[in-house]
Amino acid sequence: MLKQILHNDLSYGHSNAWVEIKKEMLANLYNGKISYKKIETKDLKWTAAKDHANVRSTDEIEYTLDGKEGKLKLHVLQVWVKTNKGWQLLARQSTKLN
């Protein structure tokens, strides 16, 4: 399902300036480089037009990256586009919050 909702031109930006493309993101999830233990989304706000939508949220995330556990509170922006495959994530960027 993840392969279907991620656009082929995906740009997935993390709060530490690390940016993955679709192929890298899927590989890093499957090979265990990064795993998510918890993603809690709050303050979800979105705007939509005919073929695109912007989604903003505040997320609390618990993760493991390269074997090290961590927690983050982030402000996240996602850009979704409507394609012949349905709605797909085209871009995501996050910023750390205190």
Q: What is the mean pLDDT of residues 31-56?
A: 96
Tokens 């903003």, located at residue: 56
Q: What is the pLDDT, as a whole number, of residue 61?
A: 97
Residue 12 C-alpha from the chain's centroid: 6
Q: What is the pLDDT, as a whole number, of residue 64?
A: 97
Q: What is the mean pLDDT of residues 40-56?
A: 97
pLDDT surpassing 90 at residue 98: no
> Alpha-carbon distance 81 to 90, whole Å?
6
Q: What is the pLDDT, as a whole number, of residue 77?
A: 98
Q: Which CATH number fits domain 2-96: 3.30.70.2860, 3.10.450.50, 3.40.1350.10, 3.40.50.880?
A: 3.10.450.50
Tokens 């993390």, located at residue: 14
Mean of the per-residue pLDDT values of the chain? 96
pLDDT surpassing 90 at residue 11: yes
pLDDT surpassing 90 at residue 8: yes
Q: What is the pLDDT, as a whole number, of residue 60?
A: 98
Q: Tokens standing for 79?
A: 């850009």
Percent of the chain with pLDDT over 90: 98
Domain ranges of the chain: 2-96
